[in-house]
Every structure is written in structure tokens, then in C-alpha cells.
Structure 1
Amino acid sequence: MKPLVYKMILFTISILLLTGEPAFAQVRPLTMENAVKLALEKNRDLQVATLETAKSTQKVREARSYALPTVAASAQYLYFPQKQVSFLPGSFVGLGENQLATFRVGGSNAFVGGVAVSQPLFQAGIRSGIRAAQIYENASAEGLNEVRAGVVTEVKKAYLDVLITQEQLRLQEQSLLRNEQALRDSRSLLAQGRASRVDTLRAFVSTENLRPEISRLNNRVEITKTILKRTMGLDEQEAIALQDSLRYDKTGFVTPGTDAFFEAVQARPEVHRLELTEKLNREQIALQTAERAPKLSAIGLLQSQAQANHLKLADYSWPLSSYVGLQVNVPIFSGFRTVSRIQQAVITRQQSETQLVNLKEMVRAEVKIGLSNVEEARLRIETQRQTVTVAELGYRITRDRWKQGIASRLELSDAELSLTQAKSNHLQAVYDFLTASVELDKVMGRIR
């Protein structure tokens, strides 16, 4: 029986190994630089913008095709249950002059086939259409740059959100360790008769009050990671581990020049896109105005037709006919449609001009706000760095005094809270500086 039992156990283990999920999911290490690269490859908004640029390239090709000849082949088969009728003067068959004679002509089966060619010689709107398509292609490229800058900014900010949440969690865990140590010390002093029961209860309450915040921050870490993965275009089930840290490095910040507004206007893809849109609207006016001009084309046709009362195609006669010529189309009256379209194009151009002026004013304000936010966060970092040092020293002194019975438990709690708050404020200042720097890079048009 034992060999059979062993075989059953081995069989069960094999099935579990083959069908079960791995005990440890593979974790992807992720730096901010790698996160940006992944987003540029996988972000769906960026993929849509890339497809839009490809579509604009095809629009240029379409616009150029209007200057090329058009060749069309056609074929037709007709069956006449009653043959076609022709009319001749009645005098041909002995009828009166005011009478017409009718004759059935042709066969019951008719085949017609041919090739028609048309080549535009003069159409005022073709060149405007090509220029408009090329401008639209360039505007789509700037739109792609705009989306790329937005994606890079959002990924970096989402990455920083994860980092600060992890650091906040670490601070709370450190605070919990300090409070747990204080609780152990309080119980020890209580056993020695050197501390009151109230102090021990306060230490216990302070310790337990930290646990819900730690639980909330653990959940917040997972939420921010999910947002980061969605922004990058990764599967939400994939595990990631951030490799960078939340640290202040003022050497990595590039200070804008004296004329930051001019620099931003020259670099921002949104400004370039609106400038191209304004040019596009001017071409649209020219394109609609060209509808008033005559159009000249060269045309030609090669045709063959045959008729018979049977379907033996080998016995058919296929005579050819052809012509070449010129065709002129002169617009005379279109129910005011052309005038209305021209006015619409003019209004659209005026709208784009107003939008461009408004955008430049927004850029001016964004540059000013961005520089102010970076400088304010930098000053807070310098201030909070000193505050953290003082708070750490104050906590150590208060803890030693409390162990000696000189300081109260309330003083120790205040010192610990001040230390945690000082570290949290410094952490928030570093986060604000890095976030403001990322936002300023976007405002200045540095992200490409």
C-alpha cells in the first residue's frame, strides 16, 4: 500500500506544479527614466497621436493626387426584351411630311466598354489643397510632440506620487517604532515605580493611533502604483518596484534664461501647432475662394460596343470609337454656398488668431507661476532641512530626560510628533520641488 500512497502523493504534487500559479510573481525594477521609455512605447494616447500623424501623411498624398490624371474603365451589358426604337421622317417610307416612321434597331443583347481619361490642366484649388495638407501634416507632428510632453510629464508626476507615498509610509513606520520603544520603556519604568499608569496608557494610545494611518498609506501605495502603470500602458497585474529615491538635487535643475517667456514660446509645441493652424486656415480661405475660378481639363475616351440577338461573343463585331478634347467648367451660381464657405473659413482664421494670442498669455502666466513654485519649494527645503536637524536633537534630549524622570510623557509625545512633522514637511518640500521642476520643464517646452 505504501508505494501506491507515495505514487499518489507524487502525482498530486506534479499536478499542482504544472497547473498552480507561481509562488512569487516576477517584479519589474523601474527607474523614472525606464518608466518614461515604457510610456513612450506603450501609452495609448501617444499611439493614437502617432496614428494621427500617419493619417496626415496620407492626406498630403491625397491632395497631390488631384493634380494627377484620372483613368477609369467601364463595362456594361444590356438586354432589350423590346429592341430600341429610332425615328425617321415619314417621307422616307411614303408617309406625310408631318409624320414620323419608327424602326426597331440593334440587337437584343448589347455590350459597351471603354476607358476614360481626365487630366486637370488648370484648377486653382489644387496647389492650395497641397499646401493645406502639408501644413496639417506639420501641425499633426506638433500635436504628437504635445501629447508626448504631456505623457512624459504625467508619468514623472505619477512616479513621484508613488515615491512620496512610500516615504510617508516609511516615516510613519519609523514613528511607530519610536512609539513602540517608548511604550516598552514606559512599561519598564512603571514596573520600577518610576512612571505612572497614565503615562503608559498614553504611550499605548499613541502607538495604536499610528496603525490606521499606516494601513491607509499601504493602500495608497498600491493605488499610486496602479495609476503609474495605467499611465505607462502596463498591465495592472504586473508588479513593479521603484528604484529611484525622493531626493533634492539642485544641480540637476536648469534655470531658465533672462527671457524665459520668449524661450517657452519658441519651444512649446502647442504654440507651434496653433501657428500652423492659423496658416492652415488661411489656405482654407484660398481653397474656398478657388471654387469661384473656372476649371480646365483634358479629356479622352476609347470605347467599343457590340450588339447581336445571340450571346456567341466570338461572332460579335467590336468596332472602336475614341475622342480627345478639352473641358471647361465655369461656376455661375451655387446658391451662395461658396460665399458662405469663404466666410466660415475667415471666421475660423479669426478664431485661431484669438486662440494663439490667448495661448501666449497663458504661457506667460504658466512660466511665472512655474518659476515661483520651484523657488518657493527650494526655500522650504533649505528651511525644513535645518528644522529636521533641530527636531532630531530635541527628540533625543527629551527622550533621555524622560528616561531620567525629568521630562513628562506629554513632552516626549510632543517631541516625537514634532520630529515626524518636520520630516514630513521636508519630504513634502522635496516632492513639491521635483513636481514643480517637471511641470516647469513642460511649460518651457523642454520635453520632446
Structure 2
Amino acid sequence: MISVPGWGRADALTLEEAIRLALANNREILIAKEKVEEARQGIKEAKAGYLPRVDLSGTYTRLNEAPSMSIPDDGIIEMGKADNYMSKLSITQPVYTSGSLSYANKGASLYYQKLQEDLKSTQNKIAFEVKKAFYAVLLAQENVEVTEKALAQAKRHLAVVEDFFRVGVVSKFDLLRTRVEAANLRPDLIQARNSLRLSQESLANLLSLPSA
């Protein structure tokens, strides 16, 4: 288990959790998933070309007066109404399209399959990169721990040598050599911590975790 900035939990991150997070949140994978979904919609649109197309339209006309006819002795007879509505319904069914619908449907299906394969390939690639980044963090953490312990031990040894020097048990040369050995470990620890930080940031980026 390792510690990663942005994890947001008290417990350490396991390799299984890291891969799960990457498959769910990695930007590259999400983009590939969006493309697959768009291609799936493309298949629906291609199949819709085989279905009948229904068009419904309507018009409305308002006359100043209703149409009428004047008949002697009978007066005026209305021949219609002032408000006129007319609707039209048409159904179009593709019969022969020179194979264009078939080609469009087959092309959409093949494109969808390709993008599914691309998604799977991307998921496998990201999972492999997460494994490498995870073990890089694990190795960097161990390196920091080893260097910290070495520096702590060097400081304790230096304290003993200084006590011996004060009572004349060791020479000044031994004292200076011990001080140099302890001092040389400080930049090693700084470098180890920087390497750990960089490896953690690399993994966090793969998992799309927020920056620390």
C-alpha cells in the first residue's frame, strides 16, 4: 500500500484500488468511452434509415366571412366556415436505396467495433502504466525510509564520536570523517523525497486525483 496526494482517505491506496480509480476516472479512458457512445448512437441513426418516415403538417386559414350563397326565397346559405383547418400526413418507406442504407449500417457497426477495441486497448495500457507508477511510488517510499533511517543512525553515531573526541578516545580526523558521512546523507534524503513526490504526482495524474 502507498500514500498518494489527493487520495482523500486515511488508509493507504492499494494497487487494486489504483487500477479501479484509473479505469473509472482516467481522462484518456473517458474520452475513449465518449467516442464509443457516439458510435453507438451512430448505429441507431443508421438503423433508423430503414424505418418509415412520418411527416405531419397542418395549416389554418381565417376568413373575414364564411363562404355563402344567396338563393332566392331561401336567403343566404353558408357554404363553409370562417375558420379552416387542413392537415396532411405522409409516410415514406425506403424501398430501393442502391445499398446505401446497408453500407451505412455496416460502416457504423464496424466503426463501433473498432472504437470498442480502442477502448479496451486504452484501458489495458492505462492499467499497465498504473502498475508501473504504483511500484515506482512504493520503491520511492522505501528509499525515503531507508535514507531517513541511515541519516538517523549517522546522527547517533556522530553524537557518540563527539563524546569520544571530547574525552580523547578518537582523533579529530575520525570526528570530521563521521561528520562528513552524516552530512552526505542529507542531500540524499532531499533527493529521495523529491523522487517520491514526483512519482506520487505521476500516479495521481493517471488516476485523475486532485493535486495536493
Which TM class, normalised by the smaller chain length?
A: 0.7 to 0.9
Distance 2:38 2:122 in 1: 16
Q: Classify 1:80/1:197 alpha carbon distance in 2 versus 1 (closer, same or farther; 3 Å).
A: farther
How far residue 169 of structure 1 moved from its aligned partner, in angstroms, is: 1.2
If the length of structure 1 is used for normalisation, what is the TM-score?
A: 0.38
The yes-or-no answer on 1:129 pairing with 2:94 is no
Q: Classify 1:109/1:206 alpha carbon distance in 2 versus 1 (closer, same or farther; 3 Å).
A: same
| Secondary structure, counterpart of 1:73 in structure 2 | strand
The yes-or-no answer on 1:75 pairing with 2:49 is no
Distance 2:63 2:201 in 1: 72
The yes-or-no answer on 1:38 pairing with 2:12 is no
For residues 46-195 of structure 1, the aligned pairs below 5 Å read 46-77=29-60, 111-123=85-97, 124-195=99-170
How far residue 234 of structure 1 moved from its aligned partner, in angstroms, is: 3.3
| Secondary structure, counterpart of 1:67 in structure 2 | coil
How far residue 192 of structure 1 moved from its aligned partner, in angstroms, is: 4.2
AA aligned to 2:51 is L
RMSD: 2.8
How far residue 225 of structure 1 moved from its aligned partner, in angstroms, is: 2.3
AA aligned to 1:60 is I
| Secondary structure, counterpart of 1:28 in structure 2 | coil
How far residue 236 of structure 1 moved from its aligned partner, in angstroms, is: 4.1
Work out which structure has the larger RCO, using CA pairs closer than 8 Å and 6 or more positions apart in sequence: 2
| Secondary structure, counterpart of 2:93 in structure 1 | strand
| Secondary structure, counterpart of 2:50 in structure 1 | coil
Q: Classify 1:135/1:71 alpha carbon distance in 2 versus 1 (closer, same or farther; 3 Å).
A: same
Distance 1:55 1:26 in 2: 35
| Secondary structure, counterpart of 1:30 in structure 2 | coil
The yes-or-no answer on 1:196 pairing with 2:179 is no
For residues 283-294 of structure 1, the aligned pairs below 5 Å read none
For residues 41-440 of structure 1, the aligned pairs below 5 Å read 41-77=24-60, 111-123=85-97, 124-236=99-211
Q: Classify 1:28/1:42 alpha carbon distance in 2 versus 1 (closer, same or farther; 3 Å).
A: farther
Q: Percent identity?
A: 26
- Residues matched between the structures, number: 189
Distance 1:147 1:110 in 2: 62
Distance 1:136 1:159 in 2: 34
* 1:135-170 per-position Cα deviation (integer Å, ceiling 9, x unaligned): 011111101101101220221122122112112212
Distance 1:68 1:168 in 2: 66
| Secondary structure, counterpart of 1:121 in structure 2 | coil
How far residue 227 of structure 1 moved from its aligned partner, in angstroms, is: 2.9
